[in-house]
Amino acid sequence: MASILIVLTSSPVTPAGQQALALAESLTEEGRPLTVCCLQDAVLLGSDRPPLGARDTLDRLLARNARCVVLGEDLALRGLRRAPRASVVDYAGLVALLTADHDRVIGAL
């Protein structure tokens, strides 16, 4: 089955962020391997202070074996720490993730 990378930049509480998370849930419900890469305001999702609804969505995604990756620099700029369930990458790790062997990359504002 095709592996998918969703790159999310919007906060998980914005309409764009909620739409991206709904897409991610649909994909994992189909059993697709999924990685959610959180940049800019989206790092709230993988932080120690995620919004309540987003935390529940992330828990469901992780229960279906999705991965959550956050850019460490964006966490630091916002004064946040990563949640234990999220992986942190630096810029080199981000480039490696974006160029990894995913069947599809979906950008979500």
Phi first, then psi, for residue 2 (nearest 5°) are -65, 130
Which range marks the domain in which residue 89 is found? Answer: 4-108
Cα–Cα dist 19/74, whole Å: 21
pLDDT in tens, 19-65: 999 999 999 999 999 999 999 999 999 999 988 888 999 999 999 99
pLDDT of residue 1: 66
We report the CATH number of the domain holding residue 48 as 3.40.1260.10
User: How confident is residue 7, by pLDDT bands cut at 50, 70 and 90?
Assistant: very high
* 102 pLDDT higher than 90: no
Helix (H, G, I), strand (E, B) or coil at 79: coil
Number of domains in the chain: 1
